[in-house]
Amino acid sequence: MLADKAEPPNEVRKTVTSIATSVEMTMRRFEKLARFLALSALAASVISVAAPCAAQEEGGVDAPTSPDTGNGPNTGDGRGSLFAPSSWLVLNTPVQKRVALKLYGFYIGAMDVPVVQLDLPIRTTKFLTITPSYMYYSVPASGLNKLPAQPGHFTDSYEEQQFRIDGTAGFAFGKFEVSVRNMYVRRFRPTPANGIGRYRGRIAVAYPLAVHGHTLKPFASYEAFYERIGGWNRHRLWSGVTLPVNKRVAVQPSFLWETSDGSRNIHYLLLGLIVNTR
């Protein structure tokens, strides 16, 4: 890069800032709407006579949450949002008729974060899947410094291990596939931080579309996070589409918006590869 590269005119910077602000306001409106729809769908799933369907995990890999930066509630946008182009790969291997093994690899380019995740989905009934899982990720100091609303001064990397278990119920409303997931996470954090529990609740909707002999599946989801210290401190909106390549391989481009107390909002631009070994 040339050292004397010209700076963009003030008008351009003002335009970019205005667009970013508009996007943030729009996503916050979507978040409020998603909360209302999530509560409505949870109630509907209890009282409706909709036909149960196999619980599904639309949205592919579970993007890791950014670590706590210790800044408390976010009091302003500060440096604005962080864009994080990311890629992931999942290998899905059936173990038994109702049991599978899923191995995930995930990389967040903006923060140089590698993630490893192992899931063991167990389909207990036609509409309910129980999944114990394990996740490990590591964030270098350079990545941590990008997360706070104000510039950070971290010098050490951050590592976290998570043991999780969730139950996902799936229902069909016509062609719409609705899944509701409730997850408990036990976070093992480096000292001096203590281990802490987390609840995650998510609702997802998918709709299969037949196009030239292939079935595309657009999806959207909303997820809220709760911890004893901090309360409801993180929210996500996720949307994308699963595109089959052949019977065993699919690709999944998607966009995920995350807002978290004490951290910058993160815009994940995701590209995933799904490989079924059988």
Rounded Cα distance between 67 and 70, Å, is 9
Which helix or strand (DSSP H or E) is residue 141 part of? helix 141-144
Q: Dihedral angle at the C-alpha atoms of 18, 21, 23, 29, nearest 10 degrees?
A: -140
Q: Which residues contact 265 (CB under 8 A, 6 or more apart)?
A: 24, 27, 77, 81, 82, 257, 258, 259
pLDDT at position 7, please? 45
pLDDT at position 93, please? 96
Q: Which residues contact 197 (CB under 8 A, 6 or more apart)?
A: 184, 185, 186, 187, 227, 228
Residue type at 43 in one-letter notation: A
Rounded Cα distance between 173 and 216, Å, is 18
Residue type at 188 in one-letter notation: F
Question: Residue written as tokens 């993630």?
Answer: 115
* 11 beta partners: none
Q: Which residues contact 167 (CB under 8 A, 6 or more apart)?
A: 128, 129, 130, 131, 181, 182, 183
pLDDT at position 16, please? 45
pLDDT at position 171, please? 92
pLDDT at position 98, please? 94
pLDDT at position 224, please? 97
C-alpha distances in Å from residue 14, one per residue of 9, 82, 146, 265:
9, 18, 22, 20
Contact 244, 250 (CB under 8 A): yes
User: Is the bond into 192 cis (omega within 30 degrees of 0)?
Assistant: yes
pLDDT at position 193, please? 80
Indicate the SS3 state at residue 31: helix
CATH annotation of 10-276: 2.40.160.40
CB neighbourhood size of 228 (10 A)? 9
pLDDT at position 212, please? 84
pLDDT at position 69, please? 63
Residue 8 CB-half CA count within 13 A: 7
For strands 82-94 and 266-276, give the pairing: parallel
pLDDT at position 21, please? 56
**Nearest residue to 198 via CA among 103, 108, 65, 34:** 65
Domain boundaries, the chain: 10-276
Contact 220, 229 (CB under 8 A): no
Mean pLDDT per 10-residue interval, the chain, length 278 residues = 46 50 57 50 42 54 68 58 94 95 94 95 95 95 87 87 96 94 94 89 96 91 94 95 94 95 91 94
pLDDT at position 194, please? 83
Q: Dihedral angle at the C-alpha atoms of 83, 250, 239, 68, nearest 10 degrees?
A: -50
**Nearest residue to 143 via CA among 134, 155, 130:** 155
